[in-house]
Structure 1
Amino acid sequence: MAQDERGVAVISGASSGFGERIAQVLSEQGYLVVALARRADRLKVLAEQDPTGSILPVVADVRDREGLARALDELPPPFRDISVLVNNAGLSRGFGPLQSGSDDAWREMIDTNITGLLNVSGLVLPRLIARGAGHVVNIGSIAATYPYMGGNVYGATKAFVHQLSLNMRVDLEGTGVRVSCVAPGMARTEFAKVRFDGDEERADALYAGLEPLSADDVAETVAWCLARPPHVNINMIELMPSEQHFGLGFAGSPPASPGAADDA
Structure 2
Amino acid sequence: MQSLVRLQSSLVNGLVFTSAICVRKTSNARGSIAKTIAALERQQKQAAKSMYAPQKFTNFLVVDLEATCNQDGPPPYPQEIIEFPVLHLCGRTFQEVSRFHTYVQPDVHKELSDFCTELTGIVQSMLADKPSLKTVLISLDEWMQNNSITQTNSAVVTFGEWDMASALVNQCQYLGIAVPPIFRQWINLKKSLLEHTRQWPRNLSAALRNACIEQKGRPHSGIDDCLNIAELMRYLARSGYVFHFTGGNNLPKRHITDPLLGTVKVSRRPGYASR
Q: Same fold (TM over 0.5)?
A: no
Q: Which has the higher contact order (CA 8 A, sep 6+)?
A: 1
| TM-score, normalised via structure 1 length | 0.28
* Bigger radius of gyration: 2
Query: TM (normalized to structure 2)?
Result: 0.28
